[in-house]
Amino acid sequence: MSQKMKNYQSTVRTSWGVSEDPGPSDETNMSTPGIAKGPLAEHGLGIFTAAIFIVGEMAGSGVLALPRAVVDSGWIGLGLVIFFCVNSCYGGTRLGLCWEIIEERYPEHRGQTRNPYPMIAQYALGKWGRMLVTVCVQITLFGAGVVYLLLASQIVQDLLKNIAPKITFCMWFLIFAALISLPMWLGSPKDFRLVGFLAVMTTALSCIFIFAQIVKEGVHNPYVVPHRNKNWMDFFLSFGVILFSFGGASTFPTIQNDMADRSKFKTSVYIAFAVILVLYLPIAFASYFVFGDYTDPNIILSLGDGPNVICANVFMAVHLIMAFLIIVNPVCQDIENIFNVPHEFGIWRCVVRTVLVLLMVVVGESIPQFSKILALVGGSTITLLTFILPNYMYMALCDQESPAWTKRQIPVHMRVYMWEMILIGVVGGVAATYTAMHAIFSSHLSTPCYIW
């Protein structure tokens, strides 16, 4: 076998988050493709830049979908937002500590490593854990991509409803998918810092305009809004949506891996979740009391007309475009590695990425209710990646022993707390997944776009 082919196959293996030899460090591992030699360069992300990336990845779709989820879960939904925020934050810090343990035990990973989340699962749980995490991450990012396309299409339709009233939502979905395919061919964005800052800024501005419009409509319409009694189906659908709103864990290890000082990642997580809570709570509370059961699954569609709504739509559309290009790129690269597509720009890259968009179109046109897809992904893969696996893998790594490793003890109260989070994740995730599947395949589902 030629040396070129050997190097390429090695790159494919490391792209799945696994080094050539996942055992103890040695000199040969230092040359593994996908792992930088030596410490991370000075140009790595700082604490606040990493926090900005976390906010930019998570906040967009959550802002739009969370208000209806809070309404459907009743009064308890207001508390669930804070509860899931705190516990998702805690799970994120466990992931950060997991990577610190791996760097301490295996020095070959102190550089930059591709797909570090599967790498954590490899060392904590073995091959089955790596494969489980890889599949969950891909499903999560694919589902998020479909949700972003659906939301962007709704926003474009709302923005241009007076200019092109005859173009339906399903048609806008096809148009938007076709337009987004072209920039996908070019690969990853070159300036991730700029994309991260713009994603946060556009989300924050959109939140300001949404909140201002809700308050304005509440002042001019001071009537008591209805709040019907909610059943368990409503509650667990909301459970999945709220989890999706805080489900950025699949990207956390990658962001940490790009930091100059990875031990500071925990601080970045705290900052990011504090910012996200500040963005989420005002809109969730305001829509609960102003719109009640009239709240649309996409909060922007509950608002009236006016400059605030136009600005909110424009800024959110920009955010969704950037977020889609960022989250769909890892899926594209993994599929290209599986089929041995060359890394350089070429016809096969265009074919693979176009086919991926077509698959998203099939899913979106078949289930044109983004909240159902969002609840399904939130209750299944995001629950695993955010609540269950971070806590379980952290305990597994701490329980591993070797004479050369620092011995770690987890206090009993922390271990009990983590098992409680795992139990809540398992029970709530199974119920939310079942409820979402039932809603998707029930007779009350909207007719697919291709059935006239």
Cα–Cα distance, 364 to 371 (Å, whole number): 11
Question: In the structure encoding, which two tokens stand for residue 32, read together?
Answer: 């593994």
Whether pLDDT at 8 is above 60: no
Mean pLDDT of 95-117: 84
Residue at 269: amino acid letter: V
Higher pLDDT, 248 or 84: 84
Residue 192: the pLDDT is 53
Q: In percent, how much of the chain has pLDDT > 90?
A: 16
433 phi and psi angles, rounded to 5 deg: -65, -45
Q: Which domain holds residue 237?
A: 40-441
Residue at 28: amino acid letter: T
Please tell me the total count of domains within the chain: 1
Q: What is the DSSP string of 418-452?
A: HHHHHHHHHHHHHHHHHHHHHHHHSTTSPPPTT--
Establish if 452 belongs to a structural domain. no
- The number of beta carbons lying within 10 Å of the beta carbon of residue 301 is 15
Mean pLDDT of 95-116: 84
Higher pLDDT, 311 or 447: 311
Higher pLDDT, 2 or 217: 217
Q: In percent, how much of the chain has pLDDT > 70?
A: 85
Residue 293: the pLDDT is 83
Cα–Cα distance, 68 to 376 (Å, whole number): 16
Least confident window among 25-34, 67-76, 334-343, 409-418: 25-34
* Domain CATH code at residue 365: 1.20.1740.10
Q: What is the dihedral of CA 359, 301, 73, 58, to 10 degrees?
A: 60
3-class secondary-structure state, position 374: helix
pLDDT tens per residue, range 372-399: 777 888 888 888 998 899 999 999 999 9
Residue 444: the pLDDT is 54
Higher pLDDT, 112 or 431: 431
Higher pLDDT, 225 or 423: 423
- The answer to whether 259 and 113 are in contact (CB under 8 A) is no
Residue 392: the pLDDT is 94
Phi-psi region at 17: left, alpha or beta (left = phi > 0; alpha = psi -120 to 50): left
Q: What is the DSSP string of 173-222?
A: HHHHHHHHHHHHTT-S-S-HHHHHHHHHHHHHHHHHHHHHHHHHHHHH--
Mean pLDDT of 411-424: 92
Establish if 79 belongs to a structural domain. yes
Least confident window among 11-25, 91-105, 206-220: 11-25
393 phi and psi angles, rounded to 5 deg: -70, -35
Cα–Cα distance, 293 to 218 (Å, whole number): 14
- The number of beta carbons lying within 10 Å of the beta carbon of residue 170 is 17
Task: Return the bridge partners of 45, or none.
Answer: 259
pLDDT tens per residue, range 53-99: 888 777 777 788 888 888 888 788 888 889 889 989 999 999 999 99
Residue 396: the pLDDT is 93
Q: Return mean pLDDT, the chain.
A: 79
Please compute, for residue 245, the number of CA atoms within 13 A of its CA located in the half-sphere on the CB side: 31
Higher pLDDT, 134 or 56: 134
pLDDT tens per residue, range 150-176: 888 888 887 887 787 778 778 888 887
For CA atoms 436, 244, 194, 207, the dihedral sign is positive
For the question of whether the overall pTM of this predicted structure is more than 0.85, the answer is: no
Higher pLDDT, 243 or 89: 89
Cα–Cα distance, 199 to 323 (Å, whole number): 7
Cα–Cα distance, 96 to 186 (Å, whole number): 31
Establish if 105 belongs to a structural domain. yes
Q: Which pLDDT band, with edges at 50, 70 and 90, does 38 fall under?
A: very low
Whether pLDDT at 103 is above 80: yes
Cα–Cα distance, 226 to 65 (Å, whole number): 19
Establish if 222 belongs to a structural domain. yes
Establish if 154 belongs to a structural domain. yes
Establish if 78 belongs to a structural domain. yes
Whether pLDDT at 181 is above 90: no
Establish if 219 belongs to a structural domain. yes
Residue 79: the pLDDT is 86
Establish if 20 belongs to a structural domain. no
Cα–Cα distance, 439 to 416 (Å, whole number): 34
pLDDT tens per residue, range 292-351: 888 888 888 888 888 898 898 888 888 887 778 777 777 777 777 777 777 677 788 888
Residue 332: the pLDDT is 78
Phi-psi region at 346: left, alpha or beta (left = phi > 0; alpha = psi -120 to 50): beta
Residue 373: the pLDDT is 78
